[in-house]
Chains A and B, each alone.
Chain A
Amino acid sequence: MAGLHKSEFANPVINWIDTRLPVFTMLQKEYGVFPTPKNFNYFWNFGALAMVNLMIMIATGIFLAMNYQPNSELAFDSVQHIMRDVNYGWLIRYVHQNGASMFFIVTYIHIFRGLYYGSYKSPRELLWMMGVVILLLMMATAFMGYVLPWGQMSYWGATVITNLFSAFPVVGPKIVTLLWGGFSVDNPTLNRFFALHYLLPFVLIGVVFLHIAALHVVGSNNPLGIDVKTPQDTLPFHPYYTIKDSVGMCVYLIVFAILVFFAPNFLGDPNNFIPANPLQTPADIVPEWYFLPYYAILRSVPNKLLGVCLMFASILVLFVLPWLDTSRVRSARFRPIYRQLIWVWVAAFIGLGVCGAHKPEGVWVILSRVCTLYYFLHFLVILPLLGKLERPLALPESISQPVTGGRGGGPLPSGATTKPMEKA
């Protein structure tokens, strides 16, 4: 019959569904036999880990929402109610709370992977840009989620972050009032943050779907950063990478479990055990650890508007990274200078995080300024110039070659030209 999909599944039920809605064929194509570069290292686990983390956050979040009260009078107590009264509420909340940290750990490593191996370069620019959108959505979601327990740090974090928008001339204060739904952070703010905190993860799913769809069009990058040339360069996604991802998943879950069961408040702030008090600001206002680098950039500039602009720019610059980096070689392995400078950038980013955790006094001011300077210098000056000045190493002819052909690059030994590993 015309229009029906010709399904190859033997199971009659699956075949019946697949004929009418070829989801099984799609799964088989995109996650079963999907040709994937065969030289992935463990850095390529982190996309899948982030996906799993998003699922964990949504699952635990839905059950938390069943017991949470988004009302400034009740919010703090309802969180304590979840911790003490609700069956396994402590577990669900600690998984959700530490899940946010795990999400950023995994995502930051995923982004570093992209930076190191040049995954943002043609033809993956749009894939990368959607990744930056995901990062921004994650940040907004994490920020609003942190406000919900309505502790001191929630309240004052919300106050400081929303006040960032007041830096913009003319419209700034109006924007802030609009965000608050009043003249300070209060019940209307909490209500809308809860609504958005529930909504945005589903928007995230949508963008993640596009991110993966784009990935499956252009294909994965790989540690060598060269294109797949022949089927010999690839392996079917299942079972090779489902298994490799599973290994990483076990490690990830172990780290996650250690945090949840042995140090659930290690990454939290003790001030958030105090109910929100609009009349008293805590002595030290610090955001969650994953926002510290941006916080340090904000504070490193003595001008309010400029600081806010630089902070936003530190993320927005990633959107144009594919065009700032003029080198056509993707992987840092073959870029002797970039390979060192990317670590300088990582050091600057971590340095900013450390600065963000300290009061902006003495050496920390200088250090955060130096780090901020390098952060932007790296993207805006070094990368455009380096592509022209750096002399990259010779690229291997194919992904298979460095594995099977040795360093000489001569003719392949006869065994290597046969088919890749068959399923035993």
Chain B
Amino acid sequence: MADSPAATNTHHGHSADVTKRDLLQLITGAGAAILGGAIAWPLIDSMNPAKDVLALSSIDVDLAPIAVGQGITVMWQGKPIFVRHRSAEEAKEADAVPLSQLNDPQADKARVKPGHPEWIVVIGICTHLGCIPLGNKTTDMRGEWGGWFCPCHGSQYDTSGRIRKGPAPTNLPVPPYAFESNTKIKIG
């Protein structure tokens, strides 16, 4: 049977009871575990993003055609990215909100690039359960704070993409991006 007397001895007995067989069993077991891991790893890793997927990691977006108040949605890594041209008042308003009023306190300055407060770029996926919020089109419902409104469970975001009301736990994340010129950004 599986439990031999020798196995119980090794736990309670003296070191003299540890036999060569115990050592061999341990080495065999450890070897099998390492080998199993080495076999499993390539198979599991093959499910990670392939090199062609990783290669699609950055896109350029031309900002010139986007009028004030308008927003566009672009695809980046298979996700919708909201790029919105805020009016000067909206930008000022968003910057003036005291952090104490926010569920996930973060200053508007930390969410835009220096010198470009009118442009807000966020990943357009509600942080609650992954729906795409409305509000990028001027005709969409934008919620009480004039930003985005998620139709699934009513989360409301302000013009900085910060969560203000509803079940979503955090602000819409800002993807890594940089201004290449005044009218062009590179996302990723």
- Separation of A49 and B1 alpha carbons in the complex (Å): 26
A residues 76-122 near B (Cβ < 8 Å) are: 81, 84-89, 91-92
- Separation of A341 and B2 alpha carbons in the complex (Å): 47
> Which chain A residues lie closer than 8 Å to B43 at the CB level?
59-60, 63, 88, 92
How far does the Cβ of A19 sit from chain B's closest Cβ, in whole Å? 15
A-B contact count (CB 8 A): 45
**A88 close to B45 (CB less than 8 A):** yes
How would residues 1 to 21 of chain A score, 1 for a CB under 8 Å from any chain B CB and 0 otherwise?
000000011110010000000
- Of the listed stretches B47-55, B84-92, B112-120, chain A binds B47-55
**B1 close to A85 (CB less than 8 A):** no
Q: How many residues of B contact A (CB 8 A)?
A: 13
Given contacts A86-B50, A87-B50, is CB(A10)–CB(B3) below 8 Å?
yes
Q: Does A303 contact B (CB under 8 A)?
A: no
How would residues 27 to 52 of chain B score, 1 for a CB under 8 Å from any chain A CB and 0 otherwise?
00000000000000011011110111
Kindly report which residue of chain B lies nearest to residue A28, judged by CB atoms. B1
> Which chain A residues lie closer than 8 Å to B50 at the CB level?
67, 81, 85-87, 89
- Separation of A31 and B50 alpha carbons in the complex (Å): 41
**A9 close to B1 (CB less than 8 A):** yes
Q: How many residues of A contact B (CB 8 A)?
A: 20
Q: Does A66 contact B (CB under 8 A)?
A: yes
- Separation of A66 and B3 alpha carbons in the complex (Å): 42
**A63 close to B47 (CB less than 8 A):** yes
- Separation of A81 and B2 alpha carbons in the complex (Å): 47
Given contacts A8-B1, A10-B1, is CB(A81)–CB(B46) below 8 Å?
no
> Which chain A residues lie closer than 8 Å to B46 at the CB level?
63, 66-67, 86-89, 92
> Which chain B residues lie closer than 8 Å to A9 at the CB level?
1-2
How would residues 132 to 167 of chain B score, 1 for a CB under 8 Å from any chain A CB and 0 otherwise?
000000000000000000000000000000000000
Given contacts A66-B47, A85-B50, is CB(A91)–CB(B42) below 8 Å?
yes
**B47 close to A81 (CB less than 8 A):** no
> Which chain B residues lie closer than 8 Å to A28 at the CB level?
1
The 5 closest A-B pairs by CB, nearest first: A88-B42, A85-B50, A85-B51, A85-B52, A87-B45
| Apart from A66-B47, A81-B50: 15 A-B pairs, beta carbons within 8 A | A8-B1, A14-B2, A60-B43, A63-B43, A63-B47, A67-B50, A81-B52, A84-B51, A85-B52, A85-B53, A87-B42, A87-B45, A88-B43, A89-B46, A92-B43
Residues on B facing A (Cβ under 8 Å) = 1-3, 42-43, 45-48, 50-53
